[in-house]
Structure 1
Amino acid sequence: MAAKRIFIAGHEGMVGSAIVRQLQQEKGVELVTRTRRELDLVSQADVTTFFQQEKIDQVYLAAAKVGGIYANNEYPAEFIYQNLMIETNIIHQAYVGGVKKLLFLGSSCIYPKLAKQPMQESELLTGILESTNVPYAIAKIAGIKLCESYNRQYGVDYRSVMPTNLYGKNDNFHPENSHVIPAMMRRFHEAKLAGDQEVTVWGTGKPMREFLHVDDMAAASVFVMNLDNAMYQAHTEPMLSHINVGTGIDCTIRELAETMAKVVGFEGKLIFDGSKPDGTPRKLMEVTRLKRLGWSAGTSLEAGLERTYEWFVNAAESLRS
């Protein structure tokens, strides 16, 4: 029996590379990957040629332009344009190329700023989005609706998973364009090395956030992709087909900072700068649907941070050598 050819779009990113590691443990699969230099996912012509030339059985759509509050505020046009083009090109050409199964990876930012907590899948499109990442969120919502629409019209099986805040190996540790965990980890690490007496954290420290280790996200993605269709449909609806992925547990940014200081070994004082934006007051995913399907996260926040910090330190040392 021929191996199942699986295309991981965005395999060099944090989530895509974790999915690659997960799928490498599976039998009977042939992984298909392309770097950005080899395949421009924003280009309709390039994506069309790729699917015409490759016989793909499944697609994991993990490719996206991502960033934190600063990046979303500074580059809104890039965020909405590039993400819309990537999703539209891949989903449509996957259908044209005969791909029956696809998994689209979204984001918890699709939910309204003041969504009921924890956020159920049904909260989608029930209120105003958080202003700092509207372009990205709109693009991700469009991806969900693309999958639902192609399922309805063409009878394919394109599924969507909405992860909470992710972190782990291969995250972006840029000092300005990264998410809260990598930005904080780098800041604390550098402060420790410099012998600083204090570290300043953006915001008041009061917002609550949920964090999921990327290896758990990869495991959940493969789990949802491989679910029996009857079971998947029994727990979703035609116009509400996405599934939340998270731990179901959140913490304040202050608690995150305190845990980070412990993991990194920073013993100085924490200063919270209330003049910086806090973002959404709380973001906790309701993960009952996924648990009923049979999957739960297995990595605690502290354990995940320890694994991530170990990788970060080793990666930083390898760059210097």
Structure 2
Amino acid sequence: MRVIRWGMIGCGEVAEVKSGPGFEKANNSTLIAVMRRNSNLAKDYAVRHNVPKWYDDADELINDPEVDAVYIATPPVSHKEYTIRCAKAGKPVYVEKPMALSYNDCQLMIQECEKVNVPLYVAFYRRALPQFIKVKELIESGIIGDVRFVTVRHFEKPHQEEIEGKNLPWRVIPEISGGGKFLDMGCHTLDILDYILGPIKEAKGSIDNQAQLYKADDIVTGNFVFESGVQGIGVWCFSAFENYEMNEIIGSKGKIEFSTFSSEPVVLTTEEKITKFPIENPKHIQQPLIQTVVNELNGESKCPSSGKSAARTSWVIDQIVKNYYKK
């Protein structure tokens, strides 16, 4: 069994705990090189995390003969470019979510990787977490009967830097992120619903910037229909008075409630009883998905989050926001 040697492009917040250490802790995996345009910051990350090499040039990392596969941990604006560079170098790619600025960019990434038979994975890591695997198992067991509809509610208070309008995070700068917080966070929920219930075939929505704190949208309402006939509605508001987030899957014999982002238990409700399933997330939350990538690269099993599955989520988002952002 070979050890997959990873190079990482981008050493920001997501790489500190969520993902970076997972490449070292996963079986048959190690992180041997990192890149950031600021060489001092690249070196700082490498020293603190015991990574042997650091670069300030992405091409040097991509073309390092000791790097077997590349993790792209940058904002979405550069995902397409770096993925194509990796494909041309023959290196498997694991790219952060959202996959790209638009569905069209996702398709280009997939095509370039397929041309040279390079695997493409996307960091929708909830597909490998026990909490969401449990929800999928409950649905497939038939305990709530035939699934009828889904509701998604995600509300947040504005952050202080957004209120002040200073040092805005890249997530609310459309030129960098492709949209706003709906794109950055809503994609997680839409992707996990794809994983649990199957692909969405129709979607539309309304979108606005009610609080005018930044250029991106701050409220989105969406309607969507799954290929199975299950219907869904969602509202995402990022200028509300409280923080609240919950999903419900309602069936003919019961319902399942679960959160995309918090550690609240999965709650199963039927006519007979209410059952709670408390499930703890791992410290390095991407590690289980990283393990599935490593396993697939070693020919052992399949990763549940591919470029094609992630592109479906980008398509849904594009349908919902297309009257606000021209992509």
**Same-fold status (TM-score > 0.5):** no
More helix by share: 1
Shorter-chain TM-score bucket reads: 0.3 to 0.5
More strand by share: 2
TM-score (norm 1): 0.39
TM-score (norm 2): 0.39
